[in-house]
Amino acid sequence: MLADYVPPYHATVVERLLEAGATIVGKTNMDEFGMGGTTETSAFGPTRNPADPERVPGGSSGGSAAAVAAGEADLALGSDTGGSVRNPAAFCGVVGIKPTYGLVSRYGLVAYANSLEQIGPFGRSVEDAAALLDVIAGPDERDATTRYDAADGVWDAAGATDEDGEDAHPAEATEYAAAADGDVEGTTIGVPTELVDGADDAVRAVFDDALAALSARGAETVEVSLPSVEHAVQAYYVIAMSEASSNLARFDGVRYGPDGDAAAGGDWNESFAAVREEGFGEEVKRRVLLGTYALSAGYHDKYYEKAQDARAWVKRDFEEAFTAADVLATPTMPVLPPKRGESLDDPLSLYLMDANTVPVNLANLPAISVPAGESDGLPVGMQFVGPAFGEASVIRAASAVEG
Ligand code: GLN
């Protein structure tokens, strides 16, 4: 639908990068409209994983993670609606951050599911990714969901001021990069049983070793429980597809996409249908159909409202967990990167791969994925989740994993 689309303006994040002196070298491949976890639903074809070209790089922002892992770019941006920054970071062996909802402006981001997504940075080190976050974070008058009070809480509390003692612009504060100091002495790390037990043995072994290394550096680990996450994948997909079905209505061949007039002979309804039939891939169509169904009269209460209840429950569970721990640690992905083509025919197995990442988006919290080691030569990522606007604490914990 957007193959030949050239945006008429820069996203806020891109504008801030240019202002900070970065060079933008290109756009990266991704699953169509961010819908997928392997970059195989891309209209441009799949991306290979630099760690093993037979395997997927993860997704949906797989092109960004692969570009950074392969050294084609120092840094990259992705969007994380349900894990699309952390998943490819884990599969490609790089660092990816999903910011707290409202920390980074979504102005200029093509919307998939507005209530869940944030733009997030990739880097080869925690410090690099955090430095990129420093540049893109902060309130934007063009995105009313960016949080001014959060800015106060984060920047002022950390004393981020310029030479004259004025509050510094976040891009000058470099507060997140400074948090990558590896100091976890006295940090309490909560380990949610439900999100560790579901991981494959190969992943589990690397995760357990990394946790032990953190304990050796003075962190304390405690078990915590998030009973609601059992319903998180279902709730996430109902909400994400519902929002997507509404957001994607704008792709109709008038404002975006191929011209549908010829096929339709002047009937606008037929014209829209022809354009959407031609312009959307299979996964996108599946989600528009399911989302429309979930929102339709008679089913709204049964699916959408139930999913919202589950979302509130997930939020409460995290709040409870943060009374016992400073940050939570889980494997980012419960599996090693699949081979190309392996999961494409089975959407459900793909959705289930998101078990550890989607709860974070439902609760609008910050999280990071950091390489924790390898299994059979394949990267394994460790995820840290923090309380709202607690980016500094997940960055600090992740930097300790780097050693
Ligand atoms: N795999 C999830 C999905 O397909 C997450 C995608 C994302 O974060 N953009 O919805």
- With the most atoms of ligand 1 within 8 angstroms of its CB, the residue from 31, 60, 285 to mutate is 60
What's the pLDDT score for residue 347? 85
Question: Is ligand 1 within 6 A of the CB of residue 56?
Answer: no
Does the predicted model carry a pTM greater than 0.85?
Answer: yes
| Position 70 in a domain | yes
| Position 38 in a domain | yes
What's the pLDDT score for residue 156? 38
Distance 56 CA to ligand 1 centre (A): 15
- Report the C-alpha gap between 125 and 345 in whole angstroms: 34
What's the pLDDT score for residue 154? 43
What's the pLDDT score for residue 155? 39
DSSP code for 224 = E
Question: Is ligand 1 within 6 A of the CB of residue 60?
Answer: yes
Question: Is ligand 1 within 6 A of the CB of residue 46?
Answer: no
The CATH number that applies at residue 398 is 3.90.1300.10
What's the pLDDT score for residue 153? 44
What's the pLDDT score for residue 60? 98
For residues 374, 392, 192, 81, the Cα torsion angle rounded to the nearest 10 degrees is -80
Question: Is ligand 1 within 6 A of the CB of residue 353?
Answer: no
Distance 36 CA to ligand 1 centre (A): 5
| Position 194 in a domain | yes
- Report the C-alpha gap between 136 and 104 in whole angstroms: 6
Instruction: Average pLDDT across each block of 10 residues of the chain; the chain has 403 residues. List them in order.
Output: 92 96 96 97 97 98 98 98 98 98 96 97 98 93 79 41 50 76 97 96 98 98 98 98 97 85 74 92 96 92 95 98 98 97 85 97 98 97 96 98 90
Per the structure, how many domains does the chain have? 1
Question: Is ligand 1 within 6 A of the CB of residue 83?
Answer: yes
Q: What value does the CA radius of gyration of the chain take, rounded to a whole number of Å?
A: 21
What's the pLDDT score for residue 261? 66
- Report the C-alpha gap between 155 and 138 in whole angstroms: 9
| Position 1 in a domain | no
Q: What is the DSSP string of 254-299?
A: SSSSS--HHHHTT-HHHHHHHHHHHHS-HHHHHHHHHHHHHHSTTT
Side-chain half-sphere CA neighbours of 303 within 13 A: 20
What's the pLDDT score for residue 259? 78
- With the most atoms of ligand 1 within 8 angstroms of its CB, the residue from 56, 87, 364 to mutate is 87
| Position 185 in a domain | yes
- Report the C-alpha gap between 154 and 177 in whole angstroms: 13
| Position 169 in a domain | no
What's the pLDDT score for residue 151? 46
What's the pLDDT score for residue 32? 98
Distance 119 CA to ligand 1 centre (A): 13
Distance 79 CA to ligand 1 centre (A): 9
| Position 167 in a domain | no
Domain that holds residue 269: 12-137+176-402
| Position 131 in a domain | yes
Q: Which residues pair with 305 in a beta bridge?
A: none
Contacting residues for 397 by C-beta, under 8 A, at least 6 apart: 184, 187, 189, 214, 219, 327, 329, 368, 384
